[in-house]
Amino acid sequence: MKLKQGLTLWLTGLSGTGKSTISEALRDKLIKNNPDFPIEILDGDAVREHLCADLSFSKKDRFTNIERIAFLAGKISKHDVLVLVPVIAPYQEARKMARSLSAQFVEVYIKTSIEEVIKRDVKGLYKKAIAGEIKEFTGISDPYEEPENPEILIETEKQSVEESVDKIIDYLITGNYLQSEEHQNKYRAIKT
C-alpha cells in the first residue's frame, strides 16, 4: 500500500472508545504491508513533555493543546506523511481550527455510548470522574460535542477493531490518499 498524498487523520471520541487502539492497528497493518510506509501517531503522550507541559484541562488550555498538536500534524502531513491523531478534541470549534491547520484533513468519529465507556472503564478514569476525583472530565463533568459531519463514522459497539481499520483504509483508497496493491498491479499490467 502506497501513500499518494499526506494527510492528517484525526480520531475524535470520548476517552476509552479505542482511538489509540484503532490508530495502532491501522499503523501496524500499513507497516506490515509496506515497512517504509510514512506514518506518525501523535497522541497526548507524544506531545506532553516538549510541547504541552504548561497546559491544564481548562477549556482555554484544551484549545491550545489541540492547536499545538494540529499545527504539528499539519507540518508533518504536508511532507507526504499519514499523521494519525487519536485525541479526544471534545469541542466542535477546536476541531474546526485543527482542520484549518492541515492541507488535507479527515475526521474520524470513534463513537461509543457513554454507558458503554463507563462500563468498560479500562483505565478506571470514569469511576474517579464520577466520584469527583477528576475534575473537568469529558463526558462526565465536561461536554463532548459530537461531530456533525465526520468523514468517517466508526461505531465501536457494532464494529471490531479490524473492521474499523478496514473501513478507514477503504475510505483512504476511495479518496485517493492511498493506493492499494490491486490498483498498483493493474497499473503495472497496463504499462507492460
Q: Which of 79, 87, 45, 39 is nearest to 62 (CA)?
A: 87
Among 56, 57, 58, 75, binds a second copy (CB under 8 A): 75
**Could you say whether residue 2 binds a second copy (CB under 8 A)?**
no
Give me the count of residues in the chain.
192
Question: Are 152 and 171 within 8 A, CB to CB?
Answer: yes
**Site for a second copy contains 50 (CB under 8 A):** yes
Shortest spacing between CB 169 and a second copy, in angstroms: 21
* Contact track, a second copy, 98-117, x by CB under 8 A: ---x----------------
Among residues 33 and 100, whose Cβ is nearest to a second copy?
100
CB 37, min distance to a second copy, A? 11
With contacts defined by CB under 8 A, name the span among 19-27, 78-86, 111-119, 134-142 that binds a second copy. Answer: 78-86
180 binds a second copy (CB under 8 A): no
Q: Does 60 bind a second copy (CB under 8 A)?
A: no
DSSP secondary structure letter of residue 51: H
Helix runs in the chain, H state only: 19-33, 44-51, 59-77, 92-100, 114-120, 125-130, 161-174, 181-191
Can residue 173 be called a binding residue for a second copy (CB under 8 A)? no
Binding flag, residue 51, a second copy (CB under 8 A) = yes
Residue 81 is a binding residue for a second copy (CB under 8 A): yes
- Residue with Cβ nearer a second copy (22 or 47): 47
Q: Quickly list DSSP for 56-85.
A: -SSHHHHHHHHHHHHHHHHHHHTTT-EEEE
Closest CA to 6 of 100, 106, 97, 153: 106
Nearest CA among 61, 59, 60, 39 for reference residue 51: 61
Q: Which is nearer to a second copy, 5 or 64 (CB)?
A: 64
Strands 7-12 and 82-86: parallel
Q: Which residues bind a second copy (CB under 8 A)?
A: 38, 40, 47, 50-51, 54, 64, 67-68, 70-72, 75-76, 78-81, 101
